[in-house]
Chains A and B, each alone.
Chain A
Amino acid sequence: MEHPKKSQSCELYPSKKEIHNYHGVVHSVISYGKEDDQQLNGTLSLIQESEKVVIEWRPNDVSIDTECQEDTEWALVNTNTRTRTSSGSVDGALSKLHVNIMLNDVKTIKVSNKKNKLTFTLKDNKQKVFFFHFGNVNQFFEELRTTVTLKRSHHDSNLYFVHDKNAIVQSFSDLTLVDRGGDTVWNLVGDLKRRPYETTLSTFSKLTELLLYRNPEARPEGAMVEILSSLSSTDGCPEVDDSYHFICPVLGPRKLEPRGIPLSQDHWETAKDTEGKIINPDHIKQIIFKGGITPSLRPELWKYLLCLYPWNSTKKEREDILNEKTEEYKRMRAQWSTMSADQESRFTFFRDKKSLVEKDVNRTDRTMPFYAGANNPNLELLSDILMTYIMYNFDLGYVQGMSDLLSPILAVLGNEVEAFWCFVGFMNIMYHNFDEDQSGMKKQLSQLHTLLTAVAPDLATYLDSHDSGSMCFCFRWLLVWFKREFPLEDVNVLWEVLWTGLPCTNFHLLICVAILEKEKNKLMSAGNGLSEVLKHVNDLSYNMDLNDILMRATGIYNQLDQSSNLTASTQRVLGLAHDLISVQQSQSEPEEIVGEEKIDVSMENGYEKSIEYNYF
């Protein structure tokens, strides 16, 4: 197991002996009632100073604007960049943020039920709460126990009285940190031994921690202000330290389950009752999620997945629906196809959209047999459907990217009316990707960052500090749901999987996470900035194994779903908010939850803010 990186901070204090420390700890300073909460990275250390033991938290990171980094002036500015100041150059203002707790002054230490918080109650009854966001409280606690004797309270098995400064005792297991049935962290330890999994193994020893100032007097608002102002006036900027270690969350081990077999004709036949209703649509969706659909069944199934037909419709009802939709289509189609050139000449909006459609139809999937060759009649179908969509949704009209969304649908269905309505169904999901102000894309890129931080925080931090925190290099993936990244047959499978809406909202973002995590080492190669990252990501096109990606994404979903350490924003993105509620209910310290929730919101907002200013 990798050990937490030793920091250089003791070099500053030659008289001190550092016992243990955790490097690169996220530190959120919560200023209650203030919107602009700050997030800082720091190092939590146990330091032996002659007779005394001190718990010290030092900010070793400041969020700065990379604009002043000369080397990257042309690149995207990203305020999320974390640049580690070398410990020797810690600014005076920064040092005001230091938290020093003399163990002598500590009365009790409380470990939260979930083993992710340490609350130090001092003799003056002030409290310092360290929120070990990903459960590594055990490791730190163990170290603590080698330097001080703790006595467990009879009333509260999680409460320890600090007894004596210089003793060693008790086996770790006495602390009942180890088991409480289903403690994820300790299950993980076991799992790691049995089945070391590269990612979890390498990340286990790292931790992310949030330090909450419970004590109003300790709120460093003034200091924060000073830090920020002193930073903005600094001439020389600290250098990016590539060796900087971000701390990863500890998720459970990832299980990669093989993909299933596609929904078969036989299975589909038995799925309908005598009237033609689908008996158990959820089961069908499950099969599709796991293995896709046999190609010959696609034309039929896609009409359900894309909401042309309700799952519980009878055969008769579907015929009626199709007739009705056919009439409606014809009507809308006539609205543009009967327009005379003269009319058009005074209809700029229409003309502009029409010209966009023409330009794109001409260069959409022309290497695909279905659209290949000059004067291929399918090009006309593609064009007609897009033109009719302009009439269907005049406010949106036609935006580049939409031809990519229609092309596979038309190729599978082969029928103009059906393809149109299925395209409408797809656009109902994708509509916001084409927002005029890009807000839909912005939101997703931000959500992607949130998820990446939960799954591969080291990568997220790397990207943040290399002008890529906006995630804009994933723009194409998200805009057309990987249409440009996989060959058509794979796109068909991927889309039908995503159309099931399983297993959570925004599963497509977990696909992004799966790919990025898989490419992590390459993306994080020395010096890769936005251009290299974008190039690498673009070059992945047609070089990825969809099955592997889907397996990973599903595995990641399960890890997140089972984790008890997700931030609220991660839960929100995936629609796992019910977990949050149950966590809240099971908590005995509701005010801390408020704190957690608050951190979360502020992180998310802060992130969105940075995108707004610097990306769009």
Chain B
Amino acid sequence: MANKAGPQRPNGTAQAKICQFKLVLLGESAVGKSSLVLRFVKGQFHEYQESTIGAAFLTQTVCLDDTTVKFEIWDTAGQERYHSLAPMYYRGAQAAIVVYDVTNQDTFGRAKTWVKELQRQASPNIVIALAGNKADLANKRCVEYEEAQAYAEENGLLFMETSAKTGTNVNEIFLAIAKKLPKSETIGGSGSGQGRRLVESDTTAKTSTSCCK
């Protein structure tokens, strides 16, 4: 269980709020989506991680200042054949991590396609992060950091190179997303398509219309 992502202690104050966000992982098959989730949620890495069929759902919580952010993570199957299932998984997602494999140029191209699709079809305010995974395989690198960095900047994406194997930047990328997600809206008021579900912690006695200020 031990999660290195964020200190789990709900920093003692009665003001602790819990915000829940739906996050989806997209990217070509075998770039390491499931591995990133497994590292983030369970702190593990499996060399022979099975391919994902359909989708997997996991949750993990990180703490940011006085806010607890609960990620509802949808890990999808990457193969093109299953592309048509993707919309139902990213529908309503507030955040997405588009993953490519730094040792495989094609997967970077595919990542760009995913970004375009998300920008066109996902929730308008979706926070998108680009993850160049398998950064540990430095000698096999095909996609340069600068190239991806420039692309991410142009498109307003968070960007990090990660390694699910070593754990480098895995928690960091989720935390960066958590920071970027807006946490000030009221429950279900907006109809903005954000669909955020805000849950109050037991310790607070707030009205149902205010949360995560």
| Chain A residues in the interface with B (C-beta under 8 A) | 70-77, 356, 359-360, 362-364, 366-367, 399-401, 403-404, 434, 436-438, 470, 472-473, 475-476, 479-480, 484, 531-532, 534-535, 538, 614-616
Interface flag for B69 (CB, 8 Å): no
With known contacts A71-B197, A535-B58, A472–B53 Cβ distance under 8 A: no
Q: Is B103 part of the binding interface, using a Cβ–Cβ cutoff of 8 Å?
A: no
Query: Do A531 and B72 contact each other (CB < 8 Å), given the known contacts A75-B92, A400-B29?
Result: yes
Nearest first, the 3 A-B pairs at minimum CB distance are A74-B92, A73-B195, A475-B54
Q: In chain B between 60 and 100, which residues have their CB closer than 8 angstroms to a CB of chain A?
A: 72, 74, 77, 79, 81-82, 84-85, 88, 91-94
* Chain A residue at minimal CB-CB distance from B28: A359
Most buried by A among B30, B47, B56, B188: B30
Known contacts A400-B77, A436-B81, A484-B53; decide if A356 and B29 are in contact (CB<8 Å).
yes
Interface residues of B in 24-59 (CB under 8 A from A): 29-30, 47-51, 53-58
Q: Is the CB of A438 within 8 A of B85?
A: yes
Q: Quick check: A400 and B51 within 8 Å, CB to CB?
A: yes
Given A73-B92, A76-B88, A359-B29, verify A475-B81 contact (CB < 8 Å): no
How many A-B pairs with Cβ below 8 Å?
Answer: 90
Contacts of B82 in A (CB 8 A): 400, 438
Residues of A within 8 A of B17 (CB): none
Q: A73-B193, A74-B93, A400-B79 are in contact. Are A472 and B51 (CB under 8 A)?
A: no
- Check B48–A480 contact: CB distance below 8 A: no
Residues of the A chain whose Cβ atoms lie less than 8 Å from the Cβ of B81: 399-400, 434, 436
User: Cβ of B134 < 8 Å from any Cβ of A?
Assistant: no
What are 22 A-B contacts defined by CB distance under 8 Å?
A70-B191, A72-B195, A74-B91, A74-B195, A356-B29, A360-B30, A363-B49, A363-B50, A364-B51, A366-B48, A399-B79, A437-B84, A438-B82, A479-B53, A479-B54, A484-B50, A531-B57, A531-B72, A534-B55, A535-B57, A535-B58, A616-B88
Chain B nearest CB, measured from A43 CB (Å): 30
CB pair A438–B195 under 8 Å, yes or no, is no
**B142 to nearest A CB, angstroms?**
14
Query: Is B183 positioned at the interface, with any CB of A under 8 Å from its CB?
Result: no
A125 to B58, CA, bound (A): 61
Task: Give, as a whole number of angstroms, the nearest-CB distance from A235 to chain B.
Answer: 10
Q: Is B22 among interface residues, defined by CB-CB distance under 8 A? A: yes
Instruction: Using A76-B88, A535-B58 as known contacts, list a sample of 15 further A-B pairs with CB atoms less than 8 Å apart, ordered by residue number in A.
Output: A70-B191, A73-B193, A74-B92, A363-B49, A399-B79, A400-B51, A438-B85, A476-B53, A476-B54, A479-B54, A484-B53, A534-B57, A538-B57, A615-B88, A616-B88
B197 and A400 form a contact (CB under 8 A): no
Task: State whether B49 touches A71 (Cβ < 8 A).
Answer: no
Q: Across the interface, name the chain B residue whose C-beta is closest to A235.
A: B191
Interface hits, B137-195 → A, CB 8 Å: 188, 191, 193-195
Complex-state Cα separation, A356 to B194, whole angstroms: 35
Residue-wise interface mask of B (1-39) relative to A, using a CB-CB cutoff of 8 A (1 in contact, 0 not): 000000000000000000000100000011000000000
By the criterion CB–CB under 8 Å, are A70 and B72 in contact? no
Q: Which residue on chain A has the smallest CB distance to residue B197?
A: A71
Q: Which residue of A lies closest to B22 (CB)?
A: A74
Please tell me which one of the listed residues A73, A360, A615 contacts residue B51 in the complex, with CB atoms under 8 A apart: A360
Report how far A434 CA is from B84 CA in the complex, Å.
Answer: 12
Contacts A359-B30, A399-B79, A535-B57 given; does A616 touch B85 at CB 8 Å: yes
CB-based contact A71/B29 at 8 Å: no
Distance in Å: Cβ of A427 to nearest Cβ of chain B: 15
**Smallest Cβ distance from A404 to chain B, in angstroms?**
8
CA distance A44 to B34 in the complex (A): 50
Distance of A214 from chain B, by nearest CB (Å): 40
Q: Which residues of A contact B191 (CB under 8 A)?
A: 70
Minimum CB distance partner of B193 in chain A: A73
Asked if B94 contacts A74 (CB within 8 A), the reply is yes
Pair B48/A363 contact, Cβ less than 8 Å: yes
**Nearest CB in chain B: distance from A463 CB, A:** 15
A472 touches B88 (CB 8 A): yes
B77 surroundings in chain A (CB, below 8 A): 400
User: Which residues of B are found within 8 Å of A534, using beta-carbon distances?
Assistant: 55-57
Residue of B nearest to A366 (CB): B48
Give the residue among B30, B74, B81, B93 with the most A Cβ atoms within 10 A: B81
Q: Which residues of A contact B58 (CB under 8 A)?
A: 535
Q: Which residue of B lies closest to A483 (CB)?
A: B53
